[in-house]
Structure 1
């Protein structure tokens, strides 16, 4: 069977999880949606639709949500369920069956995926390189008797295009400038099911399965609070004002392209004049595709691929030949974002101290026993009970809003290193706080940011300092001098943090 696009470029996005065959006598093709939680601009859904078209079988889209994953909370569940509502609406008039399932109790979903796969011709899922998902997919692949493919729809460059991890952004940027151009011609279809002629179907196809494992209904998705309140998850981490789903993601993208992008090059570190994209939660949960963002940005810039510079320099500016704001943003959403995916794809220890470059491990170990003027516990950090009003404000923003302003997130991480007994413990605290409260936590980009604070993707800096050694140093005083932060500190340090 010929692939629908360039076979070589498609091959880089297909991860064969097992050696099981396609079951051509199966009832349907199954798309197990676990990371790319969207119905458009999705290579995974496009691949599943292609299989359905080739085999002339119906397509079932199964989007589950467990309750037993680490840091499961009202915040994360609400965001995902809001996305499910958008997916249900988008697929309501389509030829596919959409089956959203939210586990009511731990292990309630045991046997569900196998039951679906037993009647499937093939199973397609998402190739996400982080958190518990890779281990889960591999474990499932060993048990299934039918073909399981994981499809990479994470970024503009397929993760398998690189066979090594990169120590610094400059070297990865050079690699991108060499390897990315042909991939700019091969984007996922905005409508993954366009020009497909697989049979239409309805929920009767999997009626027995739905009877045993009921899907979540539209009314609950529209008002999920009471349902979520009854789940065995962390109810202290509540929902935030940022809504989940593709519709909210596109609204935020449109705001950014119109209002934020023109100011991005000059003002992205300006805390009181917000112009950051705030798209990372939507990218993390798959409610928005990086390809779609790039498509609309390029259209706004009136840009075509032939405008790319032919010089491979690794420079942050000048390669795209776009406006300064666009070039600065593309360096974030492509270079820095996909650098994190590269690390997680190739290294199992991406969340461990051992993943730091040798020079960083060496200098941190040399200063491990340096005296600390302030040492705080995890509980004190979590409750924003440090001596530093700016750090406390950043932590309170994380707890209340599910995010920290980009510049202050770097300072937030650096000070945890400064105020803990060991750098290993600092990393654990940062991972816990970020994954528990941040909407965009549990993501390759999150681990990049956390471990950048400890030297990843950076170089040795002087002068050598206590505790930090040669790690880049940041202080709240310097941030206060550079940025207008008084109203930010006042805004987030008022009122109770926890009831």
Structure 2
């Protein structure tokens, strides 16, 4: 929008010339409320299409406490959906009537087309938009072509190493597809179908539905590990968001997690930081600061370090609820895949969702799973990561 509210009335105006309005389903952020409002206001039928993942959202009505529980249902249910692929050209050869007016004529002066300067990313044109200009652009190119190129590079160069090396932040092998999935530039169907086709896979290779992370697909270790992330861990977040309106609220945490955090509310914190401190990467912890600088510069954090990032925010905040607010604010504001059900899963995992109790009981976090920068640096190769996102990165 060139100014706040400029798009008001556009959908209703277009709907007056339509017999049906079709939109994507997305169970998070403000999209469900927007769809409900549109359905109530439009003079024609509104169809919402579930293309969120491989398993349809309505294939199960349950919310799952763990990835293992969800994985077992996936493995029992998914086979019947594996032949139901989206058609690449669903309207091909249909004899549809053409608009008598061009889009520009139909929209008139009130909704004039965006200028070439704006569409081309001209800095002056972008500066005039009513957006938060404190959030700097990243170097990541969007669009379907870029998404497909990223997928091809990942499958050819990194998939075979993914199972063993995906936690390593230096020379990382992560797919980098999360932002593209979030914005609909690529679908999990396309990614899955490409992997299966290149492996000459057939349904006869499927194993027994026992909920195991690896071995069910009958694929390589790297492919099995990646598909567990793409399908199990991504879609369990969509499951939660579609079934519970409070998916982004503290009250949605498991009772055991809320109880242990409540038991330690009054514990002294060794370090306390404000939201501004976290934003500026101004903590005592070099590895945490590097992760935050990566978020500011690239709109993402390496997958493993994203977990550490959240765990430390929990330990260094006055209360768990304040920590949750900080994580959601930073993630939704700076992450390219922010506001996504999968992002919320990662944030709430920090606080116990989809996890179990870990003893012994510790200050501040109780029986939540602990993580430390010291242990992370001992387990992983972080030297190159610290050099890349060290204090000098703040000058970029």
TM-score norm. by structure 1 comes to 0.77
Distance, in Å, in 2 between the alignment partners of 1:445 and 1:298 is 23
Number of residue pairs matched? 396
**1:104 and 2:2 equivalent?**
yes
Q: SS of the counterpart of 1:154?
A: coil
Assess, with a 3 A threshold, how the Cα gap between structure 1 residues 125 and 370 changes in structure 2: closer, same or farther.
Answer: same
Distance, in Å, in 2 between the alignment partners of 1:323 and 1:426 is 39
Alignment-derived partner of residue 329 in structure 1:
226
CA deviation profile, 1:411-441 (whole Å, cap 9, x unmatched): 0000000000110110000000011110000
Spell out the pairing of 1:221-300 with structure 2 (5 A cutoff): 221-300=119-198
Distance, in Å, in 1 between the alignment partners of 2:179 and 2:103 is 34
Distance, in Å, in 2 between the alignment partners of 1:164 and 1:434 is 27
Alignment-derived partner of residue 402 in structure 1:
299
Distance, in Å, in 2 between the alignment partners of 1:223 and 1:465 is 50
Gaps of 5+ in 2: none
Assess, with a 3 A threshold, how the Cα gap between structure 1 residues 496 and 113 changes in structure 2: closer, same or farther.
Answer: same
Q: Does the aligned pair in 1 maintain the 2:300–2:335 contact within 8 Å?
A: yes
Q: SS of the counterpart of 2:321?
A: helix
Q: Does the aligned pair in 1 maintain the 2:23–2:48 contact within 8 Å?
A: yes
Distance, in Å, in 2 between the alignment partners of 1:143 and 1:206 is 24
**1:165 and 2:98 equivalent?**
no
**1:213 and 2:111 equivalent?**
yes
Aligned match for 2:288, one of 387, 391, 410: 391
**1:199 and 2:83 equivalent?**
no
Alignment-derived partner of residue 79 in structure 2:
181
Q: Does the aligned pair in 2 maintain the 1:267–1:273 contact within 8 Å?
A: no
Distance, in Å, in 1 between the alignment partners of 2:76 and 2:105 is 50
Aligned match for 2:277, one of 372, 377, 380: 380
Q: SS of the counterpart of 1:124?
A: strand
Alignment-derived partner of residue 489 in structure 1:
386
Distance, in Å, in 2 between the alignment partners of 1:216 and 1:186 is 37
TM-score norm. by structure 2 comes to 0.97
Aligned match for 2:42, one of 129, 139, 144: 144
Give the drift of 1:193.
2.4
Aligned match for 2:342, one of 445, 448, 462: 445
Q: Does the aligned pair in 1 maintain the 2:260–2:367 contact within 8 Å?
A: yes
Q: Does the aligned pair in 1 maintain the 2:79–2:203 contact within 8 Å?
A: yes
Give the drift of 1:216.
2.1
Spell out the pairing of 1:312-327 with structure 2 (5 A cutoff): 312-327=209-224
Assess, with a 3 A threshold, how the Cα gap between structure 1 residues 159 and 224 changes in structure 2: closer, same or farther.
Answer: farther
Alignment-derived partner of residue 64 in structure 1:
none
Q: Does the aligned pair in 1 maintain the 2:118–2:126 contact within 8 Å?
A: no
CA deviation profile, 1:121-146 (whole Å, cap 9, x unmatched): 11111110000000011011111121
**1:460 and 2:343 equivalent?**
no
Distance, in Å, in 2 between the alignment partners of 1:187 and 1:444 is 22
Distance, in Å, in 1 between the alignment partners of 2:195 and 2:176 is 15
Aligned match for 2:204, one of 303, 306, 326: 306
Q: SS of the counterpart of 1:150?
A: strand
Give the drift of 1:182.
1.2
